[in-house]
Amino acid sequence: MSVWLTWRVAMEQALYGENGFYLRERPSGHFRTSVGASPVFAEAVLRRLVAVDDALGNPPVVDLVDVGAGEGELAAGVLAAAPPGLRERLRVTGVDLASRPLSLPAEIRWAHAVPGGIRGLVIANEWLDNVPLDVAEQTADGPRLVLVDPASGAERLGDSPCDADLAWLARWWPMHSPGERAEIGRPRDEAWASVIVRLAAGEAVAVDYAHFLAGRPPYGTLTGYRDGSLVPPVPDGSCDITAHVALDACAAAGERAGRAGARDAGAEANGGAGGVGGVVTTLTTQRRALLDLGVTGTRPPVELAHTDPRGYLQALTRASQEAELIATGGLGDFGWLVQSRL
């Protein structure tokens, strides 16, 4: 007998419910992210952290919070590469619903929720695309929720989305013709806003598969991954279920949260008179962001092969690792949402 769930509930159970995919599996066994591709990504994040630390005036404690940390590889990589002078002041926290990875260095804290009062850098690589969300389909009578049978992946239409979801669709993902589908990103907006309210000072960066208002995919992006391959998105717990992120909507939610945070902090500091400021937003591509951090993929001069063959090979390997992270049509197309409170 079929059981009909909204996609948000089905994803929640499949990924994070009892024996859910992410509580059971090592993500790197199923797909490759920028973090797992090479140490170059962690080095670039470290450069960003150093800049934030400098902007904060090198405080006695500086945070690095890795949200959706998975196996903790990024947090461990940044800590290992941190220079003396920063390393002793660094407080590194991995945040994931999954339990603490066994091999994680003891200095790294592990939490199931984002801590408050962060001063430093938050990085969330491929987190938001795994935050469960509902799917709507346009009909002649307006949007209807799509229901799914978790065992088979079969779908049918349910009720109209709630008012808040309808408002989100109208603002961020208007559908035009019957049969079009939209992924209702409101839970991702809320997830990201919950990070921004915890950022006391510094910068928060979300890196993900993204799309923007001008070019939403008309039939959505719901996808499954298992053992390194794309599979149909059946929410039975056997595979990752992911959908690209409406990163512009998350940016707007982060700005609202930033303004509210600034108002509250200002009100407290001014005896209720209110505060100013919020967060400053940059929305860009991974290619642009990493080029700005010196990740260029430039190959070594070929003459080096004659004078220092070993050095040449090392530099060539490094160049190809960098090139993968900034490749157009690949990881370079990922969106970077950067929100700073500095």
CB 205, min distance to ligand SAM, A: 12
Strand 90-95 and strand 62-67: pairing? parallel
Residue with tokens 């239409």, as numbered in its chain: 157
3-state percent breakdown (helix, strand, coil) of the chain, nearest 5? 40, 25, 40
Report the residue number, 36 or 218, with the smaller CB distance to ligand SAM: 36
The distance between the two most distant Cα atoms of the chain, rounded to a whole number of Å, is 72
Residue 27 or 261 having the CB closest to ligand SAM: 27
CB of 120 to ligand SAM, least distance (A): 17
CB of 193 to ligand SAM, least distance (A): 13
Shortest Å, Cβ 72 to ligand SAM: 9
Residue 76 or 201 having the CB closest to ligand SAM: 76
Count of CB atoms situated within 10 Å of the CB of 140 = 6
Least distance CB 96 / ligand SAM (angstroms):
4
Q: Which pairing describes strands 142-148 and 210-211: parallel, antiparallel, or unpaired?
A: unpaired
User: Closer CB to ligand SAM, residue 168 or residue 209?
Assistant: 209
Q: Which two tokens stand for residue 207?
A: 């890196």
123 burial class (0-12, 13-18, 19+ CB within 10 angstroms)?
A: buried
Residue 97 or 230: which CB sits closer to ligand SAM? 97
Residues for the chain: how many in total?
A: 342
Binding site for ligand SAM (CB under 6 A): 22, 27, 33, 35-36, 68-70, 95-98, 125-127, 130-131
